[in-house]
Amino acid sequence: MSKEIDWSLYLHPDAAPGPLQQMALVLRLSIPAILAEISSIAMQYIDAAMVGSLGANATAAIGLVASTTWLFSGVCVSAAAGFSVQIAQLIGAGRREEAQSVVRQGLMAAVAIGLLMGALGAAISSGLPRWLHGAADVCPNASRYFLIYSCALPFSLLRQAAGSMLQCSGDMRTPSILNILLCALDVAFNGLLIFPARAVSVLGVVFALPGAGLGVAGAALGTALSEVVTAAGMVLFLCFRSPILRLVKGVPWRMEQKCLRTAARLALPMAAERIVLGGAHVAATRIVAPLGTVAVAADSLAVTVEGFCYMPGYGIASAATTLVGQSIGAGRKDLSRRFAYLSVALGMGIMAFTGVLMFLMAPWMFSLLTPDPAIQELGSYVLRIEAFAEPLFAASIVVAGALRGAGDTLAPSVLNLVSMWGVRITAAMVLAPRFGLPGVWAAMCGELCIRGILFLIRLVRGKWLEGRRAAIAAQR
């Protein structure tokens, strides 16, 4: 599989790729991203099992601040997308030098925004767990975890920005490989930092393994170190090895008003969307926290297990962003629509299948993550509730990726605002006191189904292909 795709076979005005060719391209771009997302989930399983072996309090400490880490991470993803979508459309229009200029500006912006987000996270880390109504014995570890996470945000944003730029150039393989490396490094660093030095027997041979014995803080530090190493690799490949986007002489390192204005127009609605989603997750955490340590731990681990289903959808959404963005840049709105439909169909099919697997395998999955039978039973129960929402959850994920490629980032924000706050949080507040954690997850299941339907309606109506949103490259 070549890293660089010959886009002229698909985007030239005279090109007429058939449905099989189009689906082959969707698969070609999706598979590396899906594998990277699956490896990420495998890493989360291993991380959760490592921390879970320390007890319910350790799991609850990470679970308590998980919704806030998603909120911060979502803002970082939005900042990266503001530049990568421009790159996709400029490459589709054949304007590579301008795309290389956007790369430079995107990297500089990533450093600045990452430092700002990291400083904000560090400032709120001490009081955040108490504000989330965490138990007194959980808050100290939760605070330390979030502080270390915040310090690594500049590197995390650089990794995300460089990776999304490579993906939008058509190179899905390199960021996928490096993200798999991120997962492997995280597991290795966690093994060294979470546990104390110990002896391990393998086939009768005893090995002495070093260890720092840092517990929950070691899990955060392991993730931070893996982000630093992977960010360095991603930026170096982008700048010096990418066939399309590597640095060349004559392209200046300076900020341009048009680029920043377009990036802001794309990123701000996405950031608002992530804040809406993240804020809803934080609100949900406050609803779950009073239900007790077992409920918080089960909720956190169930979210991790569910990633087995929805992360492939995010991989396909990345491919949809690239395909729709480059088709829009080439003036092929007809092709943009077809790529969007094929991507959504693929995502819904895969996540329907993984939803069935998740329903059947929920108890076994939880047995790998925690030895606590109460957490296993409750987590398996709520996970099976969620399994019914996976096909429509896929629709919302992949449609959002396609809309992002066309520059339509405002509509998803509005749809998520209505769905998350109007349905999920309202229903969870009503159901949690009566049904506990299952009530919260029933509210989530219903909301995801409604969200998927709303996004499908947006896709079919086709307004995302109209107007100035779908002509970013032409504005430059």
In a domain, residue 131? The reply is yes
Instruction: Please identify which residue in the block is written with the tokens 């729709």.
Output: 324
Q: Phi, psi (5° rounding) for residue 201?
A: -105, 125
Number of Cα atoms under 13 Å in the Cβ half of residue 52: 25
Q: Does residue 263 surpass a pLDDT of 60?
A: yes
pLDDT digits (tens, 9 = 90+) for 24-61: 777 776 776 676 666 656 665 666 677 777 777 887 78
The pTM assigned to this predicted structure is 0.71
The pLDDT score that the predictor gives to residue 39 is 61
Q: How confident is the model at residue 301 (pLDDT cuts 50, 70, 90)?
A: confident
The answer as to whether 3 is a domain residue is: no
Q: Provide the pLDDT for residue 93.
A: 76
Q: Quick one: pLDDT at residue 355?
A: 92
CA–CA distance, 148 with 118 (Å, rounded to integer)? 9
- Highest averaged pLDDT of the listed ranges 89-98, 209-218, 326-335: 209-218
pLDDT above 70 (res 3): no
Q: Is the distance from CB of 62 to CB of 111 less than 8 angstroms? A: no
- Res. 470: pLDDT tops 50: no
* 241 or 474, which is more confident: 241
Stretch 65-76: mean pLDDT = 78
| 50 vs 355 pLDDT, higher one | 355
pLDDT at res. 418: 87
Structure confidence at residue 17 as a pLDDT band (50, 70, 90): low
- The label of the residue with tokens 């530090």 reads 221
User: How far is C-alpha 193 from the chain's CA centre?
Assistant: 25
Does residue 1 lie within any of the structural domains?
Answer: no
Instruction: Give the mean model confidence (pLDDT) for residues 309-333.
Output: 80
Mean pLDDT of 283-307: 84
Position 446 pLDDT exceeds 50 = yes
Mean pLDDT, the chain, rounded, equals 83
Rounded distance between C-alpha atoms, residue 59 and residue 65, angstroms = 11
Q: Is 2 within the bounds of a domain?
A: no
In a domain, 234, yes or no: yes
| Most confident region among 201-210, 361-370, 376-385, 466-475 by mean pLDDT | 376-385
Q: Regarding predicted confidence, which is higher, 5 or 318?
A: 318
Residue 8 pLDDT > 60, yes or no?
Answer: no
Instruction: pLDDT band for 2, please (50, 70, 90 cuts).
Output: very low
C-alpha 125/C-alpha 198 separation (Å) is: 32
Task: Point out the least confidently predicted range of 29-38, 132-141, 216-225, 434-443.
Answer: 29-38
Q: How far apart are CA 355 and CA 360, in angstroms?
A: 9
Comparing 376 with 252, the larger pLDDT belongs to: 376
| Residue 456 within a domain | yes
For CA atoms 303, 225, 36, 343, the dihedral sign is positive
**CA-CA distance, 383 to 304, in Å (whole number)?**
10
Question: Distance between CA atoms of 421 and 228, rounded to whole angstroms?
Answer: 35
Stronger pLDDT, 406 or 471, i.e. the higher one: 406
Q: How confident is the model at residue 473 (pLDDT cuts 50, 70, 90)?
A: very low
Per-residue pLDDT tens digits for 364-412 = 988 887 888 898 999 999 999 999 999 999 999 999 888 888 878 778 8
Q: What is the 3-state secondary structure (H, E, C) of the chain?
A: CCCCCCCHHHHCCCCCCCHHHHHHHHHHHHHHHHHHHHHHHHHHHHHHHHHHCCCHHHHHHHHHHHHHHHHHHHHHHHHHHHHHHHHHHHHHCCCHHHHHHHHHHHHHHHHHHHHHHHHHHHHHCCCHHHHCCCCCCCHHHHHHHHHHHHHCHHHHHHHHHHHHHHHHCCCCHHHHHHHHHHHHHHHHHHHHHCCEEEEEEECCEEEEEEEECCCHHHHHHHHHHHHHHHHHHHHHHHHHCCCCCCCCCCCCCCCCHHHHHHHHHHHHHHHHHHHHHHHHHHHHHHHHHHHCHHHHHHHHHHHHHHHHHHHHHHHHHHHHHHHHHHHHHCCCHHHHHHHHHHHHHHHHHHHHHHHHHHHHHHHHHHHHHCCCHHHHHHHHHHHHHHHHHHHHHHHHHHHHHHHHHCCCCHHHHHHHHHHHHHHHHHHHHHHHHHHCHHHHHHHHHHHHHHHHHHHHHHHHHCHHHCCHHHCHHHHC
Q: What is the residue range of 242's domain?
A: 8-475
pLDDT-derived band at 23 (thresholds 50, 70, 90) equals confident
Residue range 286-314: mean pLDDT, rounded: 83
Tokens of residue 466, six digits: 């109209």
What mean pLDDT do residues 117-131 have? 92
Of 45-54, 114-123, 298-307, 369-378, least confident by mean pLDDT is: 45-54
d(CA 300, CA 6): 43
- Residue 353 pLDDT greater than 90, yes or no: yes
Dist CA 316 CA 33 (whole Å) = 7
Number of domains in the chain: 1
pLDDT tens per residue, range 226-244: 999 999 999 999 999 998 8
